[in-house]
Amino acid sequence: MNKKLLFFDIDGTLVDHEKKIPPSTKQAIAQLKQAGHEIVIATGRGPFMLKSVSEALHIESYVSFNGSYVVYNGEVVYSHPIDTARLKELSQITIENKHPLVYMTPEGMRTNTDQSAYLDAVDEPLKLRLPQVEPDYYMGKEIYQCLLYCKEEDEGYYKSNFSEFGYNRWHPYGSDILPPGGSKARGIQALIERAGVRDEDVYAFGDGLNDLEMLQYVYHSVAMGNSPDIVKEAARYITKDVAEDGILHGLKMLGLLKD
């Protein structure tokens, strides 16, 4: 069997609904590596946020920040930060609107404000804790992704006035903001070119809306059973729920692992 290159999303794919890696997934990843295949994490998380998973599964390659920062076997092979001047304009407007904006680098993240125009008005408070406030954190740094905390109906303003950015909504009150052309698919393309693997030997597993372009791009795409319908429709194959040994089941379904 030719060497395969496999990309795995983290949340809802490699880790279950309790944010734990199923034992069957650990076993499956170990067996793939033992067979000589290459494993890559493809996530919206930054490098500093995926260490627990990468260390537990012994994975050294990743497509992070939804494709904006890519590392292959410890080497940065693709880097696509957000333009600082436009980020400054965006930051000023979000502060005026009391919509927290989180700046993300490979090493960490900070927010421009902890004041929100909407959290007190909703029935369920935002479950994600905002990081430390540092409004000028983006100055002199390369920011690969931002998190914008606002309701979906408020996002239209930003999409109209900052139309060059990419937007991935992952929560009723939160969206990723990506640099122009940013996507998991673009980051995966860069890593495939660096690894020198044939397109027909590339696989990807995902479950979220930010996985759509990835699943549409790779030759063999697998949606988790816990994916929304739009993600399932974008994939070539559908496996079981992550909590039902979905990774192991999917790999057996593809013939990459045996019973």
Q: Where do the domains of the chain lie, and which CATH numbers do they carry?
A: 5-80+182-253 (3.40.50.1000), 84-178 (3.30.1240.10)
Residues marked active site are found at 9
Per-residue pLDDT of the chain (259 residues; tens, 9 = 90+): 789 999 999 999 999 999 999 999 999 999 999 999 999 999 999 999 999 999 999 999 999 999 999 999 999 999 999 999 999 999 999 999 999 999 999 999 999 998 887 766 554 545 567 899 999 999 999 999 999 999 999 999 999 999 999 998 888 888 999 999 999 999 999 999 999 999 999 999 999 999 999 999 999 999 999 999 999 999 999 999 999 999 999 999 999 998 7
**How many residues are there in the chain?**
259
Whether residue 87 contacts residue 138, with contact meaning beta carbons closer than 8 Å, is answered with: yes
Look up the pTM and report it.
0.92
Alpha helices by DSSP H, listed for 97-228, are 152-161, 184-195, 212-217
Which of 50, 46, 48, 68 shows the shortest CA–CA distance to 13? 50
Q: From the CA atom positions of the chain, what is the Rg in Å?
A: 18
Region of 143 (left: φ > 0; alpha: ψ -120 to 50; beta: rest) is: beta
